[in-house]
């Protein structure tokens, strides 16, 4: 019943802004249904790489493959990728329900299907009773749950999250980490999650990709990275967030 997450592959992806190389030939594979986190200090190229996957940025070189197909010439709205941002990016004048239904309406689905998918997503994030509220009437955590519901309502094979919890306090952050994990288990969607917070990466991920100055410094499971004191992961990021 659950759709399987799609495989994601980056083949020597580079992104330049003028003479400056923000992403320098990154290659990696994310398995279907895997939860992978991009971890690294500010400016290391995490968001730019995510934007190349989403289609907000055009790659300068290389190729992004989703489900075995190149995305280079696929416009954003046809990539079928769910997105969650740090700043929620909700429409302030729309109710919770209308925010969540927005991508479904864009896809011109029949009313009945829109209703069903919206109910499904709101239930998944526990906001069924808040459907008629406006974003301004919600807490930060609830707003991010709305953004999550909007990102999963069309059952995307890939979900991208860019520092979605960074604006929240620690207790709420940990609670939402749990919720995101169980949502991921439940849906089977492939996830790429960006953070500069090492503990968050350790708590969430199947594998962690450590970025540094536009290149991949290291890839491994939380256990691999945590147990290997010889790597930059442990020595380089402690105390940084
Ligand atoms: P991170 O997400 O790891 O913090 P970014 O991908 O946002 O890093 O940025 C990587 C580098 O690319 C930074 O030095 C940033 O200043 C630069 N950069 C990002 N977007 C642009 C842009 N639109 N124009 C010029 N430079 C950019």
Name the 3-class secondary structure at 66: strand
Q: Is 235 in the pocket of ligand 1 (CB under 6 A)?
A: no
What is the number of the ligand 1 atom nearest to the C-alpha of 40? Answer: 3
φ/ψ region of 62 (left if φ > 0, alpha if ψ in -120 to 50, else beta) reads left
Predicted local confidence at residue 240, as pLDDT: 43
Q: Give CA 191 to chain center in angstroms.
A: 6
Q: What residue spans define the domains of the chain? A: 1-80+158-241, 92-155
Predicted local confidence at residue 87, as pLDDT: 84
Q: How far apart are alpha carbons 2 and 114 in whole angstroms?
A: 18
Neighbours of 238 (CB within 10 A): 9
> CB neighbours of 42 closer than 8 A, spacing ≥ 6?
196
Q: How far apart are alpha carbons 114 and 35 in whole angstroms?
A: 27
Any idea what DSSP says for residue 7?
P
CATH (residue range 1-80+158-241): 3.40.50.300
Distance 75 CA to ligand 1 centre (A): 22
| Nearest alpha carbon, ligand 1 atom 13 | 43
Mean pLDDT by 10 residues, the chain (241 residues): 80 97 97 96 95 95 96 88 91 96 92 96 95 95 95 95 93 94 94 94 94 93 77 49 40
Q: Is 46 in the pocket of ligand 1 (CB under 6 A)?
A: yes
Q: Which ipTM value was assigned to this complex?
A: 0.98
Q: Is 26 in the pocket of ligand 1 (CB under 6 A)?
A: no
What is the number of the ligand 1 atom nearest to the C-alpha of 48? Answer: 6
């Amino acid at each position: 019943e659950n759709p399987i997450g799609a495989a994601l592959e980056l083949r020597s992806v580079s992104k330049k802004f003028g003479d400056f190389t923000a992403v320098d030939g990154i290659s990696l594979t994310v398995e279907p249904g895997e939860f992978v986190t991009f971890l690294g200090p500010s400016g290391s190229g995490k968001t730019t790489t995510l934007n190349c996957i989403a289609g907000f940025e055009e790659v300068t070189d290389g190729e992004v493959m989703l489900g075995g197909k190149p995305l280079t010439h696929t416009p954003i709205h046809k990539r079928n990728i769910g997105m969650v941002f740090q700043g929620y990016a909700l429409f302030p004048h729309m109710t919770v329900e209308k925010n969540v239904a927005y991508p479904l309406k864009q896809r011109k689905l029949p009313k009945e299907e829109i209703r069903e998918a919206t109910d499904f997503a709101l239930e998944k994030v526990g906001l069924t009773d808040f459907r008629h509220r406006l974003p301004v009437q919600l807490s930060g955590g609830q707003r991010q749950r709305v953004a999550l519901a909007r990102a999963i309502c069309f059952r995307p094979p890939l979900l991208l999250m860019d520092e979605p919890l960074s604006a929240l306090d620690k207790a709420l952050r940990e609670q939402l980490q749990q919720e995101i994990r169980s949502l991921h288990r439940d849906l089977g969607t492939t996830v790429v999650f960006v953070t500069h917070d090492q503990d968050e990466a350790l708590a969430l991920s199947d594998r962690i990709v450590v970025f540094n100055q536009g290149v991949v410094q290291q890839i491994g499971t939380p256990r691999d990275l945590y147990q290997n004191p010889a790597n930059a992961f442990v020595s380089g990021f402690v105390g940084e967030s």
